Structure 1
Amino acid sequence: MEVQVAGLVGIYADPRHVIAYSDGEVRQQFNICVAARSIGGTLQGSAESTDQRYVDPSQLGELPMHPTRRLRLEHFLDTSWRQPYVG
């Protein structure tokens, strides 16, 4: 998918959020989240994807996801944000 970046939502790092994968890999969360709009291409998965689809924002509460991912989506959907989140 081709996108045009519209702005920075936030920079997310939490030393308490450590992810241990089933293959033994361990990572600490660090994420730079941008707002973008689709300008071409098609939605496709990758080796890291189990599902991909467009979801209406009103349905996000029904989807299972880690609280840190939900926080990023909430920050993106909050149209009153003027400064990127850093934390």
Structure 2
Amino acid sequence: MGRTEYYYDPKAPKANTLIPASNLLVVNNEGAILLQRRRDTGQWALPGGAQDIGETAAQCAVRECAEETGIAAEVTGFLGVYTNPDHIVAYSDGEVRQQYENAYIGRSFGGKPTVNDEADGVRFVQPADLDKYDIHPSMRQQISDYLAGTYPYLG
């Protein structure tokens, strides 16, 4: 399914759905942050996705991390709720979502970075190297909030 992101873009279509999603900002023992390169946008992002019925938001973050990166992780903290009405994601099937993400902090305990049908790159990145990666501004905000210690973010 095709995907187009709009970020503070006056030409963005009007949202027609609000879907709860969760991200997991995983940090390894060396302080590097787990990122995946999305096949649909080519940008690097935290692992995450839509919450399924029957799971908590935190369970969603852990599941999405494993599915999208091959890394087994656990939640160690809460980063924040990110609900920017100026961040719109339009899908080729006509769904137009307003951003709604519960972001968690986690640590890895197993697995290895693995590409899949959603991510064509998975790696741990040191904070000093983040500027070398094309990371969507909404993900950069979450990473920056974590690095600055300004969480939980409730916006």
The higher-RCO structure (CA 8 Å, 6+ apart) is 1
Question: 1:59 and 1:6 mapped to 2: Cα distance?
Answer: 24
Counting matched residue pairs gives 84
TM-score by length of 2: 0.49
Question: 1:75 and 1:32 mapped to 2: Cα distance?
Answer: 13
TM-score by length of 1: 0.81
Question: 2:113 and 2:102 mapped to 1: Cα distance?
Answer: 21
Residue number in structure 2 paired with 1:12: 82
Question: 1:26 and 1:51 mapped to 2: Cα distance?
Answer: 26
Residue number in structure 2 paired with 1:56: 126
Residue number in structure 2 paired with 1:33: 103
C-alpha RMSD of the superposition: 1.7
Question: 1:49 and 1:15 mapped to 2: Cα distance?
Answer: 26
The offset of 1:26, in angstroms, is 2.4
Percent identity reads 35
**Unmatched runs of 5 consecutive residues or more in structure 1:** none
Q: What amino acid is aligned across from residue 154 of structure 2 in structure 1? A: V
Question: 137, 143, 153: which one pairs with 1:67?
Answer: 137
The offset of 1:50, in angstroms, is 2.7
| Deviation digits for residues 24-65 of structure 1 (CA, Å, limit 9, x no counterpart) | 442221111111111112222343213111111111122112
Q: Does 1:43 pair with 2:113?
A: yes
**Unmatched runs of 5 consecutive residues or more in structure 2:** 1-70
